[in-house]
Amino acid sequence: MATIASALQAVKLQMAAIGKRPVQLLAVSKTWPAGAIREAYAAGQTAFGESYVQEAIAKMRELSDLDLEWHFIGPVQSNKTKIIAEHFDWVHGVDREKIAQRLSEARPENMPPLQVCIQVNVSGETSKSGIAPAKLPDLAKYVSSLKGLKLRGLMAIPEPSEDRTLQRQRFAELRRLKDNLPEYNLDTLSMGMSNDFESAILEGATLVRIGSAIFGSRNKR
């Protein structure tokens, strides 16, 4: 069994081998204990992604001695917007006006704006999360008008596929959607997970969200 430090190093080498452009690595630590995060931190990782609010907040408390950046990557339920706005640095799954408005209103004034990505449902996704591409321009306009939020970019979770051509098509679609919104100076394309991050980087990902390739398979826990 590889250590977290060696798995992290292997992922970084794979990422670097793809291209010269720097790509941010978000370590997805959902379901893994605080100790695993501490191990990754000791190996130089500072940004972590979590999908379950209560679990994440328990870990934040345990790890409050470390300077970590916390990204919420799960679906945002409206009854969780306040606690998310109070604890996280980033939210990747904003896909509705109401959620954006609630996050903005709940963001404490003494904190910097919450950094957000709009989640888009790219072609072939069966998931209910993510806004339809046709509605993206209106939501982007709305999100960028909110005081408590800073619109940074777009995020997608395409249906898993082993077909690299298909993987790349879907990531390319998200990139084109971002390129069609030049007025917001978006700097983030959050796309790519353990099984498809190479395709995502080839299509312009600036941030990849990687869990099992670093921490191990969640199913085998």
Ligand X SMILES: *Cc1c(COP(=O)(O)O)cnc(C)c1O
The whole-angstrom separation of Cα 86 and Cα 107 is: 6
Residue closest to ligand X when measured from CB atoms = 211
Nearest distance in Å: CB 182, ligand X: 26
Q: Is 28 in the site for ligand X (CB under 6 A)?
A: yes
What is the distance between the terminal CA atoms of the chain, rounded to a whole angstrom?
13
Please work out the total of residues on this chain that contact ligand X, with binding judged by CB under 6 A.
13
Identified binder of ligand X from the candidate list 37, 73, 91, 117, rule CB under 6 A: 73
Closest CB to ligand X among residues 13, 110? 13
Nearest distance in Å: CB 74, ligand X: 6
3-class secondary structure per residue, 2-67: CCHHHHHHHHHHHHHHHCCCCCEEEEECCCCCHHHHHHHHHCCCCEEEECCHHHHHHHHHHCCCCC
Under DSSP, the state recorded for 85 is H
The whole-angstrom separation of Cα 168 and Cα 190 is: 14
Which residue bears the tokens 């941010």? 24
Q: Is 91 in the site for ligand X (CB under 6 A)?
A: no
177: left (phi over 0), alpha (psi -120 to 50) or beta: alpha
Nearest distance in Å: CB 29, ligand X: 9
Residue list 145-164, contact with ligand X (CB under 6 A): 157
Closest CB to ligand X among residues 169, 195? 195
Closest CB to ligand X among residues 73, 146? 73
Nearest distance in Å: CB 53, ligand X: 13
Describe the crossing of helices 4-18 and 34-42 by its angle, rounded to 10 degrees: 60
Nearest distance in Å: CB 68, ligand X: 17
Identified binder of ligand X from the candidate list 40, 193, 200, 205, rule CB under 6 A: 193
162 Cβ contact partners less than 8 Å away, ≥ 6 residues apart: none
The whole-angstrom separation of Cα 8 and Cα 88 is: 23
Nearest distance in Å: CB 155, ligand X: 8
Q: Is 130 in the site for ligand X (CB under 6 A)?
A: no
Closest CB to ligand X among residues 32, 102? 32
Q: Is 212 in the site for ligand X (CB under 6 A)?
A: yes
Residues binding ligand X (CB under 6 A): 28, 30, 51, 73, 157, 193-195, 209-213
